[in-house]
Each structure stands twice: as C-alpha cells, then as structure tokens.
Amino acid sequence: MNTFDPRRRLLRQLMRYRRAFLPGFLCVIVTTSLSLTGPWVLRYAIDDLQTALTLGKVRLYAVALLGLAAGAGLFRFLMRRIIIGASRNFEYDLRNEFFAALQRMHLGYFQQTRTGDLMSRATNDLSAVRMMIGPAVMYSATTGLTFVVALVLMWSIHPWLTAVALVPLPFVTLAVKYFGSAIHKRFERIQEQLSDVSAVTQESLAGVRVVRAYGREHVELELFRRANEEYVQRNRALIRLQGMYFPSMGLLMGIGALLVLWIGSREVIAGRMTVGALVAFNAYLMMLGWPMIAFGWVTNLLQRGLASWKRMLEVLDAAPAIHDPEPSDRAELTDIRGAIEFRHLTFGYGDHVVLRDVSLVIPAGTTTAIVGATGSGKSTLLSVLPRIHDAPPGTVFIDGVDVRRIPLATLRGAIGFVAQEPFLFSTSIADNIAFGVRVDETTRERIEAAAAIARLDKDLSGFPKGYDTIVGERGITLSGGQKQRTAIARALAVDPKILVLDDALSAVDTHTEEEILQRLGAVLRHRTSIIVSHRVSTVRGADQIVVLDEGRVAEVGTHDELVRRGGLYADLSRKQMLEDELAAS
C-alpha cells in the first residue's frame, strides 16, 4: 500500500517526535554556542595578563569560563536526554509496531521466513535505525554547528591564518573517503570469511557422527584451520588499513596545529596578532578536529540506518494474506451452531496439490473422525477451518456461511484447535491452559475442569508446584503426552462450539487415551468435533469416519460399515490388531 520513498516514510515517522526534537535542537545550539565562547574568553584573559591590566579582571574571566562551562554542561545534559530519549521512544514505538505487524501475518509467512531473520530485523536493524535517528542526528547537529561557527570565529581572528589552518582539510576529506570505502570493502571480505568459518564449524559439528565414524577429525580440523587462517589474514588486512586511520588523522590535524603555531607566532612577532588570539585560535582548531573525524563515522551510521530501515519496512508494509472480511462482505453471526461443510475443496501449497475435490458434510453436534496415511491431507483439511491457511472462496462453510466472510475473532473463537505438535509457551501450566480465556473469577474453575477432562489432573498432583509448574521453552519439561493433554485442556477451556483434535492423542498411552475419550464423550455431546487419529481405537466410536487417500475422500461411513466394506479402513483396522498383539508380547 505504501509505495513511498523510504526516506519520506522515515521523515513522516520522525514528525511524530517533533515535540522532542525541536527543544533538542535548541539545546544543541545553546550548548555549542556556550562551548565556543570559552576560548574567546581565554583570549582576552591572556592578552590582559600580558598588557598588565588588573588581576581582578583576569579572575573575572576565570569565573566567566566556569559559568560558560556550567551552562554548556547543563544544556549538553538536556540535549542528550531529549534527543537520545526521543530515539528510545522511537525505538519503543517501532518495536511495538513491528510486533503488531507480525501478529497479523499468517502461518505461511512464518514458514517462509526464518525466525532468525525476523529476530535480526527486530534487534540489529531496529538498533541501527535508532542509532541513525539518535546519536547520528545528535552528533551531526553538534559537529556541523561547531564546524561552521568555529570557522567563522577563526576567520574573524585572522582570515589568512584560517586559510593556512585549513590546508590539511582536503586531505582529511580525501582520507575519510578513501579509508571509508576501503575499510568497508575489507570489512565485507571479513564478513564473507566469517560465514565461511561458521559454515565449516556448523558442518563438522552437525556431522559429528560421520566425522567420528570415519576418523576424520584431523581432516575437519585442517579445514577449520584453513578457514580460520584465512579469516585471520583478512582481519590483518583490515587492521593494516584501519590501524592507519587514526594516526593519519592525528598527523593531518597535527600539521594544521603546527602551521598555526609557526605562522601564527610569526604574525604575533610581526604585531598583527596577540598571544591571546593565537591561543584562542589554537583552541578553535582543536575543536575542529573532532567534527572532521566524526563526519566519516556519522555517514556510516546513516548509511547503515537507512538500509536497516528499508529492511524493517519490508515487514511493516507486508500485507497480511489472511485478514478479516471487508465490512461489506462480513456475515454477522452471533451464535455459531457448528455445522461444517466442505464443498469441492481443492487446495495446495504452490504447485503441490494436497486436497482434491473434497466434499464433506459435518452436521452440528456430531463427531467426525479422519484417518489416512501421512501426507494424505488430514492436517491441511483441518487447517482451512480456522483459516490457518485460506481455502478458495466458496469451499468451506460453517452454518452455511463461507468462513472467509466470518470475522476472524468470531470464527476462531468458536473453534478449539489442538495441533499435531502443540506449541506451549514458557509459562505455568495454568497460564497455558487459560491461554485463550479472558481472565475473570471463574478462570480457575475452568482450568481445573478442562485439566480433569484431559486427564492432566493426575499428573499435576505429582508436580510440587501443581498448576504453577513452569513448562520451559516449548514445554520441554513435559513429556510428549503431557504436552498434548495440556493442549487439549487449553482448547477445552475456551468452551468452543467446534473441537478439532489433530492426532492430539498420539503420544498418550492407550489406557489414558481411553479415559480421556470417555470424559470427552460428555463434553462433545453439545459440540461438533473432528478427530484425526491413526488409531482405530480412537476413531471407532465416531458418528462418521472419513478416510483420506492422497488428498481425496476415499471412504466415508461408520466403523462397522467401513470394516464390512473391506477397503483401506478395514486394512488399517486389521493391521492395528496385529500391532496391538505385538505390543502385548
């Protein structure tokens, strides 16, 4: 939607903080002016000492010097607080916007984009953008102003000497430019080699079994040694150049000072200049040095910041592929009953077709089981229901309404979804179960009721902290079965009209599964449910069983009907009886 130039976008974004930046710039002007007045005072002080005026006057200068420093310090403090503070506010807002933008993205986006890449944008790029609008802006303003005013003041002291002092300036500019681009090039070569070092390391560590089995440790070490050596060589190439940068600046700046001292002194001897003026002139020259060095640094910050800003805009401006229906198209459903229908649904990812012409009616309040081999399209069929993936218009209906016309909040609020590999968050078990629940005084009851149905209660009594047990990243401290049952409780806690279990009992032992199914029975009476499973024992009681084969509906019927039919389902059922026998031995 936003086809603006990134710079214009940035300016527009920055306009929000104009209230902070305006006083900030004011502080820049005040503090710079006060700092620049210091040497001027010194000039009169020294001249007065020479011409033997009153000592009192000299002491007055000393006090003035102190006063100026105090004033400059105060405004410098304000400047930093205001401008850098504003940049922190900018960062804070932008990070929130970034997060909000990603919250609107659909699953496919996260599958295509590596998490590491998103993280890098949220951290490195954001920080580069902040450096651009905070420190870079602050330093450009102070150094720019100092540069101009100091030059004017020097000119007013001695125009010709100013010209002499500026002799090294073109060289400084050249050096900054030359070093800047050369250093950048060598730096890139280092980065390339670093990714080489990383790749070698990654490979030899990830392939550790092969390396050990074939006794190739020394080969891998030799490869690493070479990559490491090259990395060091490239770093040394950079150092050779970069090590020259500051000494060169020091030399050029020093030559300016040398010329001023030499020629300035001759001017003093010739009576065209006072000693005080010479000292003040020298002080200004010192002040010029920093802006010249800072120039290269600030340019670098700006370049990097702008590149990062563009990368952030890619995320901020990305249009969410799955979003709420347009108001004109919106179906107002106040109460979802839970009747589901798939009508000639063909769906795939890119060129890869997963579902072919699936038509299926699931009446409200019934239980439907789906079976089929890995890759037969079971999970995909479930995922188009809450619009994790978007099916074509006119193919998926709830209560006769196309799901694409139902507001996302209404739609998803009516569905309790338990994924194949449930994602738990690193908080307490209670928080995980209450994940989709608005917190109120009945929350605890709901959590406990849901946990009881999912048969989680008996595990919890064994945990020292019970419901407050922290589950660790992705639920790592729980067993596979416990994770699945927590996810089931989480789905039940929202009291959904439609319950979807995608192979949600695969890691639960058969005995517990039996118990859960029994308890679910009462809950499911008023709900529509879809259960995917590999186990015949799980699906046999369903009102209808759907067999998917390579994306098509191969068989539909009750357990008895399908067994009698002697097709895929009957084969699965027979195979499982054998397996059960095997497990029992």
Q: Show contacts with other proteins in window 478-497 (CB under 8 A).
A: 490, 494
User: Could you write out the DSSP letters of every residue in 101-169?
Assistant: HHHT--HHHHHHS-HHHHHHIIIIIHHHHHHIIIIIHHHHHHHHHHHHHHHHHHHHH-HHHHHHHTTTH
Q: What is the closest distance, in whole angstroms, from the C-beta atom of residue 513 to other proteins in the complex?
A: 18
Residue 51 CA, chain-centre distance (Å), reads 66
Q: What is the closest distance, in whole angstroms, from the C-beta atom of residue 269 to other proteins in the complex?
A: 5
Closer of 522 and 583 to other proteins (Cβ):
583
Closer of 11 and 199 to other proteins (Cβ):
199
Which contiguous run of DSSP H or E holds residue 232?
helix 217-269
Give the separation between CA 315 and CA 464, rounded to whole angstroms: 43
User: Which of positions 424-453 make contact with other proteins (CB under 8 A)?
Assistant: 425-426, 435-436
Among 112, 159, 214, 464, binds other proteins (CB under 8 A): 214
Give the separation between CA 221 and CA 232, rounded to whole angstroms: 16
Q: What is the closest distance, in whole angstroms, from the C-beta atom of residue 510 to other proteins in the complex?
A: 15
Among 14, 194, 307, 524, binds other proteins (CB under 8 A): 194
8 Å CB contact between 468 and 428 = yes
Give residues with Cβ within 8 angstroms of 490, minimum separation 6.
418, 422, 432, 433, 434, 435, 436, 450
Among 101, 151, 169, 197, binds other proteins (CB under 8 A): 197
Give the separation between CA 460 and CA 310, rounded to whole angstroms: 49
Q: What is the closest distance, in whole angstroms, from the C-beta atom of residue 371 to other proteins in the complex?
A: 13
Residue 321 binding other proteins, by CB under 8 A: no
Q: What is the closest distance, in whole angstroms, from the C-beta atom of residue 508 to other proteins in the complex?
A: 16
Q: Quick one: which segment of 10-18, 142-150, 181-189, 206-214 binds other proteins (CB under 8 A)?
A: 206-214
Sign of CA dihedral 149, 152, 158, 162: positive
Q: What is the closest distance, in whole angstroms, from the C-beta atom of residue 139 to other proteins in the complex?
A: 13
User: Which of positions 526-555 make contact with other proteins (CB under 8 A)?
Assistant: none
Strand ordering across the sheet containing 340-349 = 352-362, 340-349, 396-398, 401-402
Q: What is the closest distance, in whole angstroms, from the C-beta atom of residue 272 to other proteins in the complex?
A: 13
User: Which of positions 374-413 make contact with other proteins (CB under 8 A)?
Assistant: 386, 388, 408-409, 412-413
Residue 464 binding other proteins, by CB under 8 A: no
User: Which of positions 256-275 make contact with other proteins (CB under 8 A)?
Assistant: 257-258, 261-262, 265-266, 268-269, 275
Give the separation between CA 41 and CA 280, rounded to whole angstroms: 8
8 Å CB contact between 504 and 418 = yes
Residue 319 binding other proteins, by CB under 8 A: no
Tokens representing residue 404 in the block: 């694409």
Residue 506 binding other proteins, by CB under 8 A: no
Residue 119 binding other proteins, by CB under 8 A: yes
Closer of 74 and 361 to other proteins (Cβ):
74
Closer of 121 and 405 to other proteins (Cβ):
121
Q: What is the closest distance, in whole angstroms, from the C-beta atom of residue 5 to other proteins in the complex?
A: 28
Q: Pattern of binders to other proteins over 70-109, x per CB under 8 A?
A: x-xxx-xxx-xx--xx--xx-xx--xx--xx-xxxxxx--
User: Which of positions 122-151 make contact with other proteins (CB under 8 A)?
Assistant: 122-123
Sign of CA dihedral 189, 192, 197, 200: negative
Q: What is the closest distance, in whole angstroms, from the C-beta atom of residue 467 to other proteins in the complex?
A: 18
8 Å CB contact between 108 and 290 = no
The site for other proteins, by CB under 8 A, has a size of 138
Q: Quick one: which segment of 172-180, 304-312, 339-347, 417-425 binds other proteins (CB under 8 A)?
A: 417-425
Q: What is the closest distance, in whole angstroms, from the C-beta atom of residue 265 to other proteins in the complex?
A: 5
User: Which of positions 560-579 make contact with other proteins (CB under 8 A)?
Assistant: 567-568, 571, 574-575, 578-579
Q: What is the closest distance, in whole angstroms, from the C-beta atom of residue 115 to other proteins in the complex?
A: 5
Closer of 163 and 208 to other proteins (Cβ):
208
Residue 118 binding other proteins, by CB under 8 A: yes
Q: What is the closest distance, in whole angstroms, from the C-beta atom of residue 247 to other proteins in the complex?
A: 4
Closer of 11 and 119 to other proteins (Cβ):
119
User: Which of positions 17-76 make contact with other proteins (CB under 8 A)?
Assistant: 38, 42, 45-46, 49-50, 52, 55, 58-59, 61-63, 65-66, 68-70, 72-74, 76
Provide the b/e sequence for 314-348 (b: ≥16 CB within 10 Å). Answer: ebbeeeeebebbeeeeebebeebebbbbbeebebe
User: Which of positions 216-255 make contact with other proteins (CB under 8 A)?
Assistant: 216-225, 228-229, 231-232, 235-236, 239-240, 242-244, 246-248, 250-251, 254-255
Provide the b/e sequence for 88-112 (b: ≥16 CB within 10 Å). Answer: eebbeebeeebeeebeebeeebeee
Among 422, 483, 485, 535, binds other proteins (CB under 8 A): 422
Strand ordering across the sheet containing 552-557 = 415-418, 498-502, 528-532, 367-372, 544-549, 552-557
CA-based radius of gyration for the chain: 36
Closer of 272 and 344 to other proteins (Cβ):
272
Give the separation between CA 471 and CA 469, rounded to whole angstroms: 6
Q: What is the closest distance, in whole angstroms, from the C-beta atom of residue 518 to other proteins in the complex?
A: 26
| Closest to 2 (Cα-Cα) out of 70, 73, 86, 101 | 101
User: Which of positions 342-381 make contact with other proteins (CB under 8 A)?
Assistant: none
Q: What is the closest distance, in whole angstroms, from the C-beta atom of residue 42 to other proteins in the complex?
A: 7
8 Å CB contact between 398 and 411 = yes
Give the separation between CA 238 and CA 154, rounded to whole angstroms: 37
User: Could you write out the DSSP letters of every residue in 157-205?
Assistant: H-HHHHHHHTTTHHHHHHHHHHHHHHHHHHHHHHHHHHHHHHHHHHHHH
Residue 205 binding other proteins, by CB under 8 A: yes
For residue 420, give Cα distances in angstroms to 379, 382, 455, 489. Answer: 8, 11, 18, 14
Residue 245 CA, chain-centre distance (Å), reads 35
Closer of 329 and 580 to other proteins (Cβ):
580
Give the separation between CA 292 and CA 561, rounded to whole angstroms: 87
Tokens representing residue 232 in the block: 């060091």
